[in-house]
Chains A and B, each alone.
Chain A
Amino acid sequence: MKKIIRENFVLAAGICLPLILVIIFWLATYVPTLFVDPPQYDFLYTTQNYIYNNPDDLAIKVDTVEDQVRIRAAARWSDDDSNRYNNPKIYRFYARTGQSIEISYADAITKQVPKEYFSCVKPSATNDQAQAQTSRPNATSTLGECPNKMSNAGNDYFAITLPELQNIKLYKGQIAPDGYNAEYGGYQNRSIFSELFYSSGGNSDFRIVKNGRSYVISSPAPGYRYDYGNTKFLGWIRKD
């Protein structure tokens, strides 16, 4: 065996090189797990399918005010397909399981946005009728009939409360008390070391990292990519 390898050293090197890369990669990801504790804190984040629209056009706005999440819904929130598709989705990352679960707000909006606003933008009850309404090129023209006028941006949004977020308070900043840092990996300049030590699925990923131990936040929906700017970290959830 030794003789064969010695005689075909270049061939053996060529075959072993990819294997060596995989071994180094496994060591680089496994060794930090021996010395760094797993994450202890859950966190909240939002994702969007498109980010090209003007933020003022968004039907749902999610941000933080002091240590709490604020969700505001425009009365026109489901008026047309593109806006509905563009709505941010809220996720809670569970540190214990490593899974992200969506926190839905659709029902809360239906219940909490005053009915008179819905009457001007959602006249139909069935999906087919709603489709017919949205397919009209000037569907949004009905907004002019709404109370308070939809163009008055300050009056158009309603704060929504969700039971899942009611008692949640957030830490300020990207770093959790246990030292994990929420990082967005899109469009970064990477060195050969970051290529090795940060596991990634391309140029766009979202992860939490502490001293070389890294968790990639798995895609919340099939085919979804954490592309540049479409992911917003809201905050680590306080335990007290």
Chain B
Amino acid sequence: MEIRTRAQAIEHIAILIEQFQIAPKEIAAICKSKTADTKSALLPSVLSYLGGVFILCGIGVFIAMKWNDMNSAARIIATLGSGTVALILGVLCHKDSRYQKAVAPLLVVAAGLQLTGILVAITEIWPHGNDADLAFLIASGVLFLVQVLLFTAIRRTSLVFLMMSFGFAWFGTYAHRIGIGGDLVMTVIGTSIGLITYHLQGTMHRVLCPFWYFVASGFALYSGFSLIDHTPIEILYLGICAGTIYLSTYVRSTALLFNGTLALIGYLGYFSGKHFANTIGWPMTLILMGLVMMGIGSTAWKIRNKYIKA
């Protein structure tokens, strides 16, 4: 049985309870101990994260202060070297069950440092290159391949996130470089991310879905509007917004619902301002828009509770 929604998960739990004759008391005891664990671990976790941020900021500020005194090799080692060390640490932590929580932050920090490091290396080796697009293509391409190779060995969700980030960053830069229009590229990237995220919903990486649905719908709705704005088919944008809201109920995504609703309200505001502000007057248009926002907001909330959270 493929579990995609909360309702399906509850149904599955009910089957398991019946199958293995589990008493409600046993489940309640597990839940209670888990909640207690989480509460007691919250403060140390927050302090640990803060400590980590402080250390990282300190190292960053130190490198920035000494940047002008460093030679090329030192600059590359400080950035790319640190990134590589963080990556190795991430892989080592993955192998040790005690440090599982450190893996994702280490891999993400490693990716950020390596990206900076490769760009620094390119700038130091070719100081008069003057081709930022090509430098970013090389950096994101290399890092995409690194994440893919790593993912074949380590099936971590953070690697899926990084693969998607670098892959689409590479494609966006390449499309810009060969001269495809920005809005069209953003629409395609948005749609593509949406499709991949839909696939992720049925996998162990579903935790990424809210974020990527938000990005996908944001890209597609923003650039889609730019593509059809001031054209005879502009009114179809209402259909696109409505389609996004319907899609949010199908894939059960609050992020999609949020962006779809926001785009719908935004377009209605734009349309009213363009066509009615000079006929029925701006104050009346504002009142009308207020009523529309209340109506759409309340409907969106009902949709969320009835079709997404259920």
- What residues of chain A have their CB less than 8 Å away from a CB belonging to chain B? 8, 10-11, 13-15, 17-18, 21-22, 25, 189-192, 194-196, 198-202, 216, 222
Contact = CB atoms under 8 A, between A and B. Distances in A.
Contacts of B298: none
B227 interface: yes
Provide the main secondary structure of the chain B interface: helix
Contact of A21 (B183, B188, B193): B188
Contacts, number: 74
A196 B180 contact: yes
Given A8-B199, A10-B198, A195-B180, 15 more contacts: A10-B195, A10-B196, A11-B199, A14-B195, A17-B191, A18-B171, A18-B192, A21-B180, A22-B178, A25-B178, A189-B231, A191-B231, A192-B184, A195-B184, A200-B179
Contacts of A8: 199
Nearest to A19: B171
Contacts of B191: 14, 17
Contacts of A22: 174-175, 178, 180
Classify chain B's interface size. 20 to 34
Nearest to B197: A14
Given A199-B179, A200-B179, A222-B130, A14 B184 contact: no
A14 B189 contact: no
Contacts of B168: 18
A13 B180 contact: no
Given A191-B231, A196-B184, A17 B192 contact: yes
Nearest to B232: A191
Q: Which 5 A-B pairs have the closest CB atoms?
A: A14-B195, A195-B181, A199-B179, A14-B196, A11-B199
A142 B206 CA distance: 74
A201 B175 contact: no
Interface of B: 130, 168, 171, 174-176, 178-185, 188-189, 191-196, 198-199, 227-231
B181 A11 contact: no
Given A11-B196, A11-B199, A18 B189 contact: yes
26 contacts: A14-B193, A14-B194, A14-B195, A15-B196, A17-B192, A17-B195, A18-B175, A18-B188, A21-B180, A21-B188, A189-B229, A189-B230, A189-B231, A190-B181, A190-B227, A192-B184, A195-B180, A195-B183, A195-B227, A196-B184, A198-B181, A200-B179, A201-B176, A201-B179, A216-B179, A222-B130
